[in-house]
Amino acid sequence: MPSRDSRQRILVTGGAGFLGSHLVDRLVAAGHDVICVDNLFTGAASNVDHLRDHPRFRFIRHDVTIPLSVEVDQIYNLACPASPIHYQRDPVETTRTSVIGAINMLELARRLGCKILQASTSEVYGDPEAHPQPEGYWGRVNPIGPRSCYDEGKRCAETLFFDYRRQHGLAIKVARIFNTYGPRMQPNDGRVVSNFIVQSLAGDPITLYGDGSQTRSFCYVDDLVDGLIRLMETPDDFVGPVNLGNPAEFTIRELAMRIVSLTGNSGSRLVSATLPVDDPRQRCPDISLAQAKLDWRPRVALEDGLMPTIAYFRDVLRA
């Protein structure tokens, strides 16, 4: 438990989502007062239900596109649907959430004079020519495609963060998060790890989009949350953007085969489905900056993170 001086009041937007709820848990466990703001668009109240009666936790159901007034010392801005099927369901709202949501949270930080961290994404690199992707790479993003609401929304949010720093002197931090997985993903989330585990446990066909040769690098949620907190605690002159992800890179086909083997359900066969438009061909973070500035690197290997994730989905599907 931190002393009264180091105990912070912390706002986490998107705090009932997958990443947000794990971050909230860590901050509460570290002795801080945490306010979780979420409109439950893709998150679930059950993700934070265990904290409902906790004296240092408060849940506010609220949409970040509407201004908010709370008194806090730090803000983690995570509110935004992250799975392609969810962020493409109402693309205009996705852009509004990233852009207006960022403005509302930056205005709050400005009024309070507090630190604010943005959950940005590897999607700002689009379908990259540089590999692995360093922070200095400006990206290759289609501005008018079905993924653009998310990619360009997040890029604009980064712009806003840097302009609030230049124009108003705000203490900002920008994390570029690469594919992260773990317990509390929703079974209908639509992202690859949850889809493959749910399909494999049910003995259903595993849907490889395209031929499965595209790559991703998968980070376990505990490692990611550790990186976010380390970034928030860096001195004010370090703002990022900084990549947070696991540099171990796998093809989607390799991921499918590992999941089938770990669930012990070899009955599932791999089937090919349509590759989504603008699906990045390869993705892998260059994490040298995070290593140097945050003394951070992921600890959890893919198999070790998949096991508790599979156990979680087994429980969810049994319930």
In the complex, minimum distance from the CB of residue 140 to ligand UDP, in angstroms, rounded to a whole number: 15
Are residues 221 and 267 in contact, defined by beta-carbon separation less than 8 angstroms?
Answer: no
- Nearer residue to ligand NAD within complex by CB, 7 or 279: 279
- Quick check: 17 binds ligand NAD (CB under 6 A)? yes
- The answer to whether the Cα torsion of 300, 126, 209, 93 is positive or negative is positive
Which residue is associated with the tokens 């639509």?
Answer: 190
Q: What is the DSSP letter of 242?
A: E
How far apart are the C-alpha atoms of 127 and 30, rounded to whole Å? 38
- Quick check: 250 binds ligand UDP (CB under 6 A)? no
- Quick check: 120 binds ligand UDP (CB under 6 A)? no
Q: CA-CA distances (angstroms) from residue 54 to 32, 57, 232? A: 11, 5, 24
Binders of ligand NAD among 41-60, rule CB under 6 A? 41-43
Is-catalytic flag, 150? yes
Which residue is associated with the tokens 């400006």?
Answer: 138
HSE-up of 135 (CA within 13 Å, CB side)?
Answer: 17
- Quick check: 80 binds ligand NAD (CB under 6 A)? yes
Are residues 185 and 219 in contact, defined by beta-carbon separation less than 8 angstroms?
Answer: no
- Nearer residue to ligand UDP within complex by CB, 190 or 240: 190
What phi, psi does 189 have (nearest 5°)?
A: -60, -35
- Quick check: 112 binds ligand NAD (CB under 6 A)? no
Helical (H) or strand (E) element with 109: helix 91-112
- Quick check: 39 binds ligand NAD (CB under 6 A)? yes
Residue 58's CB is within 10 A of a number of other CB atoms, namely 16
# of chain residues touching ligand UDP (CB under 6 A): 14
Out of 150, 164, 181, 220, pick the active-site residue.
Answer: 150
Residue 182's CB is within 10 A of a number of other CB atoms, namely 24
In the complex, minimum distance from the CB of residue 87 to ligand UDP, in angstroms, rounded to a whole number: 9
195 binds, among ligand UDP, ligand NAD, none (CB under 5 to 8 A by kind): ligand UDP
How far apart are the C-alpha atoms of 223 and 299, rounded to whole Å? 7
- Nearer residue to ligand UDP within complex by CB, 167 or 274: 274
- Quick check: 79 binds ligand NAD (CB under 6 A)? yes
- Quick check: 191 binds ligand UDP (CB under 6 A)? yes
In the complex, minimum distance from the CB of residue 131 to ligand NAD, in angstroms, rounded to a whole number: 18
- Nearer residue to ligand NAD within complex by CB, 14 or 241: 14
Which residue among 32, 86, 154, 216 contacts ligand UDP (CB under 6 A)? Answer: 216
Which residue among 8, 88, 97, 104 contacts ligand NAD (CB under 6 A)? Answer: 97
In the complex, minimum distance from the CB of residue 153 to ligand NAD, in angstroms, rounded to a whole number: 9
Question: How is residue 132 written in tokens?
Answer: 């692995």
Residue 272's CB is within 10 A of a number of other CB atoms, namely 12
84 binds, among ligand NAD, ligand UDP, none (CB under 5 to 8 A by kind): ligand UDP
100 alpha carbon, distance to own chain's centre: 19
How far apart are the C-alpha atoms of 92 and 177, rounded to whole Å? 22
Question: How is residue 78 written in tokens?
Answer: 């995570």
Q: What is the DSSP letter of 3?
A: -
- The site for ligand UDP (CB under 6 A) is made up of 83-84, 179, 191-192, 195, 207-209, 214, 216, 252, 276, 279
- The site for ligand NAD (CB under 6 A) is made up of 13-14, 16-20, 38-43, 63-65, 78-82, 97, 101, 119, 121, 177, 179-180
- Residues labelled as active-site residues: 150
